[in-house]
Structure 1
Amino acid sequence: MKRRDFLHLTGMGIGASLLPSIPLLGHEIPLEDAIVPVDIAVKKQLADVALNAARTNGASYADVRIGRYLNQFIITREQNVESISNTESFGMGIRVLVNGCWGFMATDNLDKDNIAKAAAQAVALAKVNSKLMAEPVQLAPQEGYGEVRWETPIEVNGFEVPVKEKVDLLLAVNNEGVKGGANYANSSLFLINEQKYFASTEGSYIDQNIHRLWPTFTITKTDSQSGRFESRNALSAPIGKGYEYLIPKEEEKVRGVVTTYKKRYDMLEDAREAAANLAEKLKAKPVAPGKYDLVLDPSQLFLTIHESVGHPTELDRVLGYEANMAGTSFLTLEKLKSENFNYGSPIVNLVADKTQPDTLGAVGYDDEGVKCKQWDIVKGGTLVGLQATRDQAHMLGLTESQGCSYAQSWEDVQFQRMPNVSLQPGKVKMSAADLIKDVEKGIYMLGRNTSSIDHQRYNFQFSSQLCYEIKNGKIVGMLSNAAYQSNTQEFWNSCAALGDKDDYRLGGTFFDGKGEPGQSSAVSHGCPTTRFNGINVINTGRKIS
């Protein structure tokens, strides 16, 4: 079971706008090896070796994570395949508690003697660390679940779909873009499978099989006369689902599969629309700065939720323990304990949920063996909750963890990571068209684009892929260079109307960075189309003629 060291994935030939960061992925393997699972009985035997060694050496608590992480990245440009990569990483992380202090050790050499040695080293590290400890770790109580299993409810395993079929889809996407008038087109498909086994001295043996999928593209058109260019990325959402997400219903019989999945993504149609959008974007008039009512599509709003709600309600940022990559937070424990801190208007309800189907963060149990659940972050506009792990729960007066622990791999220490955080839909029947018809002067925005937010997660600026002017309840044309500026409280208190459950959709990110050393996680944010009244909009580019 010896595995080679991690390697950086290189030669991807893809722009930073499409893929902002690439985590360490593992070594290359043949695709046929990727779909052969590791025997669960073997994983239990290895976990017991580590747990017994940890206890023998003096640990009061120990947990073990055996992880097998599979990645497939396919990247194309026009009619060329830039990169096809299948990687695997396999190993064990052992965490122990000794004298109220954590110790951790990881290994990819999974014979029994080496596992026992790694567990002993974790205990030795904890003993050394405890001499410098200011306050002992307080773990929230957690029952052992025995032997349990959870898996993403997929219908078609993307790793089993022939590579040629996936490449053909991406090349067809590029062709639709070029055929529609674009000069450049690249597309990518990212598949991730986390096979995770958790065991603890409390009696849990949890086997999980997690799948995620992200299809995306960038299409660009240039104006030869002016030298200007415009691009449009896919409006797809990365999803916690199988390849059925990409199979059109009418093609199921041809492909020899039958699925019941209804929420599919038509990548070809999105590419055709993107190409048409580019000609319009090149001719769009620049926005006039001022106050506007904004109607934000879920493909745009999810990122604002991520930055202005997801990150500032992470407890470690609130306490100032974490500032890497996303800063700290304008929130404090006093604001939560006051029970009346106004986060948004009365119709704003934001929930954390690690069990929501199709989301990137959906799992049965977190990386501390805590069964996942849903809880309120903002209820009726009032801040009512944050995000916590087992050793943070007592800081919020909680008797149990909220299940927010995650590590990006077996060799990384698990710590507090963002769950899926979503804006709940309205209860009155309301579509995007209904929201627009009540706007006298406004802007309709779709798709994530540039963003900027301060290190307190308070003052921010966001733009979109597509931006349309609204006058007297009607869309009258496309705008360019528009970005909205606000602060978190002002923005969410301006929330005036919500689409209903039929308009609710997911957005998300595969690569949300945090920590030092940095780790990456995947998370989704759901919401309906939403209207925000009286938001400041600036012009980020061309002068107004």
Structure 2
Amino acid sequence: MKRRDFIQLSSLGFGAMMTPGLMMMGNTVSAEQLLQPGLANAAKKVLADIALNAAKSKGATYTDVRIGRYLQQFLFTREKNVQNISNAESFGVGIRVIADGTWGFSATSDVTPDGIKACAETAVAIAKANAKLQIEPVILAPVKGFGEVSWATPITKNAFEIPVKDKIDLLLKVNNSAMDNGAAFVTSNLFMVNEQKYFASTDGSYIDQDIHRIWPTFTVTAIDKAEGKFRTRQSLSAPMGMGYEYLDGLASEKMAGPAGLISYRNSYDMVEDAIAASKHANEKLTAKSVAPGKYDLVLDPDHLGLTIHESVGHPLELDRVLGYEANYAGTSFATLDKWKTKDFKYGSDLVNIVADKVQPFSLGLTGYDDEGVKCKEWDLIKNGVLVNYQAIRDQAKIIDESESHGCCYADNWNSVQFQRMPNVSLRPGKDKLSVQDMIKGVEKGIYIVGRGSYSIDQQRYNFQFGGQLFYEIKNGEIVGMLEDVAYQSNTQEFWNSCAQICDQDDYRLFGTFFDGKGQPSQVSAVSHGSSTTRFNGVNVINTGRRI
């Protein structure tokens, strides 16, 4: 999966577009099998020790073991029909070692003493073979052992325990509600993931984690038969690190916004959003086409999250900065020389962007990363200045860090862990400011909601972004809907045009289940938080889209 596929996979109606089972990892099982208990921790510890001892006996100076059970349930519907229900389970062990100063990795689904011993020995043999080509030895930032510890996503309703019928009934209710309110077509989908991960290492850690994620999404389509054209509106949900409580409406309040829009934070009313989406899609059929020019942009968090992902999250991945991703996804304009000056203005003084894997309800939320490092928060951009990157244990020394940032991840037991984007978020403004108050200060602008198509160059510098909904602002008021909107800028120019950020009361999460990276390719889930933000004098083009 390539990064340019991010928006396609995060916004389109999967049920109508994708081959059944695409992106499912593991063996097909029943819904009931997903609820069966996995291997007990005591048994995992015994198996992990077999791997640690076997690797050491063959010459490994460091070893980590990941015993993983990965569960997925994906539901797909269209109009009045169920298109697919996919349940998958993947179970096995991945063993990573350092021998002769070089990494080696091996994985097996034979989770027995003999199978794990053989796997560990293979990992060491691979490391020693690789060492013949190694120029400098691997140096790991130190990590203290945590002993036996456990961590779990703080859910109140396990989504896998909710009967499939209840979840399908919800999706079909979404579809019916959309069609009753003017949609010609609708697809709705529900994605649920549970990662049961056990990590052990020669540093002395035995870490058990139970991680849950959920994503409800849909696409509605309205048609103007007389004009022969159609318009769509996708859901305004954010995938979350939560259980099924995300959909029961009890987790948090919903917020009324400009133009009658409703925003959701830590809970989501899928039916209500589908009804609104149907009305919006029909309204888009007759919306005025935008006049190109310079506008002040008021960007909703569900839109700005994608811009953060592409223009901040990816260019500040240290492996990408160093050129490790050049063959697959490009490099970065945010090179080490810019960081070393300690004064590179990535954005205006208002821009404070942090990385973390500890933000409540986020997709990246976890206690420890896949190197056994305790997760934390750290600054990437402070008062507009580039101050740091995203780094793991064997990268920390490159940027003069004494410890890993705790952002190493593998998408399955049979994948080697490597540096992945943590949650990357824009801090809210310090002064009290609502979205309505922000709009009152705009003379000529556009309010943009929802993720849309985008394009960005291989250094994450020059870009173009669209959206779902566009509203014209004149003299401090929203005067109507627009269509054919996209804005163009470069990363530094754009973030330096940041003029206002709403306060904490407006702060919300955006996210993706399917961010791709690496060869062989892996996917990861990541969130981006922000409040509604204003950017002044941004170039807007007319995309000239006509059906």
Between the aligned partners of 1:145 and 1:328, the Cα distance in structure 2 is: 35
- Aligned partner of 2:70 in structure 1 is 69
Secondary structure in 2 aligned to 1:46? helix
2:199 is aligned with 1:198: yes
Residues 274-312 of structure 1, C-alpha deviation per residue, up to 9 Å, x if partnerless?
011012100001100000000000010000000000000
2:406 is aligned with 1:408: no
Between the aligned partners of 1:134 and 1:501, the Cα distance in structure 2 is: 48
Displacement after TM superposition at 1:201 (Å): 0.8
Residues 460-493 of structure 1, C-alpha deviation per residue, up to 9 Å, x if partnerless?
0001100000000000000000000000000000
Letter in 1 for 2:434: S
2:93 is aligned with 1:96: no
Between the aligned partners of 2:192 and 2:327, the Cα distance in structure 1 is: 27
Displacement after TM superposition at 1:84 (Å): 0.5
- Aligned partner of 1:343 in structure 2 is 346
- Aligned partner of 1:152 in structure 2 is 153
Between the aligned partners of 2:517 and 2:22, the Cα distance in structure 1 is: 13
Counterpart of 2:465 (choices 462, 466, 469) is 462
1:30-429 equivalent positions in 2, closer than 5 A: 30-38=30-38, 39-249=40-250, 263-323=266-326, 326-429=329-432
Secondary structure in 2 aligned to 1:491? helix
Displacement after TM superposition at 1:437 (Å): 0.5
Between the aligned partners of 2:527 and 2:13, the Cα distance in structure 1 is: 26
Displacement after TM superposition at 1:504 (Å): 0.3
The count of aligned residue pairs is 522
Alpha-carbon spacing, 1:78–1:24, altered in 2? closer, same or farther (3 Å): closer
Residues 124-145 of structure 1, C-alpha deviation per residue, up to 9 Å, x if partnerless?
1111100110111010011110
Displacement after TM superposition at 1:263 (Å): 2.8
Between the aligned partners of 1:514 and 1:236, the Cα distance in structure 2 is: 24
Between the aligned partners of 1:30 and 1:231, the Cα distance in structure 2 is: 34
Displacement after TM superposition at 1:25 (Å): 1.2
Between the aligned partners of 1:48 and 1:56, the Cα distance in structure 2 is: 12
Letter in 2 for 1:299: D
Letter in 2 for 1:124: A
Alpha-carbon spacing, 1:246–1:416, altered in 2? closer, same or farther (3 Å): same
Residues 243-279 of structure 1, C-alpha deviation per residue, up to 9 Å, x if partnerless?
00001349xxxxxxxxxx9831000110010011012
Between the aligned partners of 1:450 and 1:125, the Cα distance in structure 2 is: 42
Letter in 2 for 1:368: E
Between the aligned partners of 1:191 and 1:424, the Cα distance in structure 2 is: 28
Secondary structure in 1 aligned to 2:149? strand
Alpha-carbon spacing, 1:64–1:147, altered in 2? closer, same or farther (3 Å): same
- Aligned partner of 2:503 in structure 1 is 500
**Contact map agreement 2:15 2:78 (CA 8 A) in 1:** no
Between the aligned partners of 1:105 and 1:502, the Cα distance in structure 2 is: 47
Between the aligned partners of 2:310 and 2:415, the Cα distance in structure 1 is: 24
Alpha-carbon spacing, 1:419–1:171, altered in 2? closer, same or farther (3 Å): same
Letter in 2 for 1:492: W
Secondary structure in 1 aligned to 2:346? coil
- Aligned partner of 2:477 in structure 1 is 474
Counterpart of 1:527 (choices 522, 526, 530) is 530
Displacement after TM superposition at 1:343 (Å): 0.3
Between the aligned partners of 1:445 and 1:368, the Cα distance in structure 2 is: 39
Displacement after TM superposition at 1:542 (Å): 4.9
Between the aligned partners of 1:249 and 1:148, the Cα distance in structure 2 is: 30
Letter in 1 for 2:288: K
Between the aligned partners of 1:109 and 1:34, the Cα distance in structure 2 is: 20
Displacement after TM superposition at 1:325 (Å): 5.2
- Aligned partner of 2:27 in structure 1 is 27
Secondary structure in 2 aligned to 1:124? helix
Letter in 1 for 2:540: V
Between the aligned partners of 1:181 and 1:48, the Cα distance in structure 2 is: 60
Between the aligned partners of 2:15 and 2:230, the Cα distance in structure 1 is: 15
Letter in 1 for 2:475: N
Displacement after TM superposition at 1:456 (Å): 0.3
Alpha-carbon spacing, 1:291–1:16, altered in 2? closer, same or farther (3 Å): farther
**Contact map agreement 2:223 2:231 (CA 8 A) in 1:** yes
Between the aligned partners of 1:57 and 1:236, the Cα distance in structure 2 is: 50
Structure 1: gaps (5+ residues): 1-11, 251-260
**Contact map agreement 1:18 1:218 (CA 8 A) in 2:** no
Give the TM-score normalised by structure 1: 0.94
Between the aligned partners of 1:31 and 1:479, the Cα distance in structure 2 is: 44
Displacement after TM superposition at 1:30 (Å): 1.7
Displacement after TM superposition at 1:176 (Å): 1.0
Between the aligned partners of 1:409 and 1:14, the Cα distance in structure 2 is: 22
Displacement after TM superposition at 1:507 (Å): 0.3
What's the C-alpha RMSD, in Å, of the aligned pairs? 1.8
Between the aligned partners of 1:44 and 1:37, the Cα distance in structure 2 is: 16
Alpha-carbon spacing, 1:120–1:148, altered in 2? closer, same or farther (3 Å): same
Give the TM-score normalised by structure 2: 0.93
Displacement after TM superposition at 1:211 (Å): 0.1
Letter in 1 for 2:235: A
**Contact map agreement 2:93 2:109 (CA 8 A) in 1:** yes
**Contact map agreement 1:23 1:520 (CA 8 A) in 2:** no
Displacement after TM superposition at 1:190 (Å): 0.2
Displacement after TM superposition at 1:352 (Å): 0.3
Between the aligned partners of 2:407 and 2:22, the Cα distance in structure 1 is: 22
Between the aligned partners of 2:139 and 2:511, the Cα distance in structure 1 is: 33
Secondary structure in 2 aligned to 1:464? coil
Displacement after TM superposition at 1:226 (Å): 1.1
